[in-house]
Amino acid sequence: MMRVCVFLAVLVAGAIVAGAAGPAVANDAAHCSVGALQGLYVLSASGFIIPASGSPQPKAIVEVIRFNGDGTLTAPTATRSINGVVATSPPGGTGTYTVDDLVPADGACVGHLTFTNGPSWTFTIPHKADTLSMIQTDSGNVFQGSAVKVAR
């Protein structure tokens, strides 16, 4: 009976160690890939646009983005306000994204997104990829926000 208890204890301890070490490496690799972003996200961002001539103007956007898990994306809908003028983008916007290596200090990955004929963004992906922190990287913009996953 004692040998069975020792065997079970060693078996459980080995499974715990293997589970803690093995999947973490696999999860980090999958986490920092275009496949980590798959599903429907809602982006909410605000800030300012700085025109070549004139003073900064407030800017806000709410946009739906579908990440396809293969480096491509679509934007079914977007509504923006620039200096109080509201406009809705036509459905069917497209773009691409990349995901770079893991940032060891915090376990987040960094990625880049570019809409076809539109703005570019840099984003961070936490381990669960449920909420992305994003900042627009086009010159003349001080614009940041979050994209929250709402559906697979």
pLDDT means per 10 residues in the chain (152 residues)?
38 38 43 87 96 92 96 96 94 92 72 93 85 93 95 84
On whether the CB atoms of residues 123 and 134 are closer than 8 A, the answer is: yes
Under 8 Å CB-to-CB from 36, ≥6 apart: which residues?
A: 30, 99, 109, 125, 129
Interval 8-41: pLDDT, tens:
333 333 333 334 433 333 345 556 889 989 999 9
Cα separation, 39 vs 41, whole angstroms: 7
In three state form, how does the secondary structure of 42-95 look?
EEEEEEEECCCCCCCEEEEEEEEEEEECCCEEEEEEEEEEECCEEEEECCCEEE
Number of structural domains in the chain: 1
* Residue 1 counted as domain residue: no
* Residue 17 counted as domain residue: no
* Residue 6 counted as domain residue: no
Structural domain boundaries enclosing 39:
34-151
* Residue 21 counted as domain residue: no
Cα separation, 122 vs 150, whole angstroms: 20
CATH number of the domain at 142, please. 2.40.160
pTM of the predicted model, to two decimals? Answer: 0.76
* pLDDT for the residue 53: 85
